Amino acid sequence: MGAIPLRMLISLVVGAGIVAVVFVGLRGALHTAAEKQVERECHEILSSLSTMVASGDARWASNPEMARGDTRSMEITMPDELVFLGFGIDPDPDNDGVLSSGLTANGSCIFFKTEGRGKRAIWDTGGVRFREGTQENGRWAVHEPQQGYIIRGGGTYHLTFELVADYDGTTYVLIWAQDKIAPT
């Protein structure tokens, strides 16, 4: 009689172990799927913007009277596991969880991090230089000091990207939004 409860106990422990292993594996797979979703969205954005930079018309950023440059409006859906997505910036260069503004590599990059995964970088070699925009007198201008744009957390975001040029002809992709992170 004593052997039946011992066998039941061993079966319960083994069963709980199997459930725990399946749970950990499933959780890892969900984190990987979220990371791949963000990466796929970023590559689609870069593909569209690289075409715009290569063949689009830019507005002179310093001339508020000039007609708008070529634009691309996109709706992106980020998974709930997204920690941050930085266009033109590594918002957490110290990997301490404290996000800051600025620029990384002249804005020619996208950094993102999802829960349970490490930070990832996508470097652009097609001339896309991101800049956060700010509204001035009803027109979008390059935020001063220049900085990238940061998204925190999952959800659906509506972003408009405009091709603008500096006085020396350097082109930027201006993001019509503000991230509410003060410059550092």
Mean pLDDT of the chain: 86
Confidence at 90, pLDDT banded by 50, 70, 90: very high
More confident residue, 164 or 19: 164
Residue 1, pLDDT above cutoff 60: no
Residue 183: predicted pLDDT: 54
Residues 20-31: pLDDT tens digits? Answer: 777 766 666 677
Cis peptide leading into 79, omega within 30 of 0? Answer: no
What pLDDT score does 166 carry?
86
Each residue's pLDDT tens digit, 46-78: 999 998 998 889 898 877 678 888 999 999 999
Residue boundaries of the structural domains of the chain: 5-175
Q: Tell me the per-residue pLDDT of 138-162, one tens digit each, with 9 for 90 and over.
A: 778 888 889 999 999 999 999 999 9
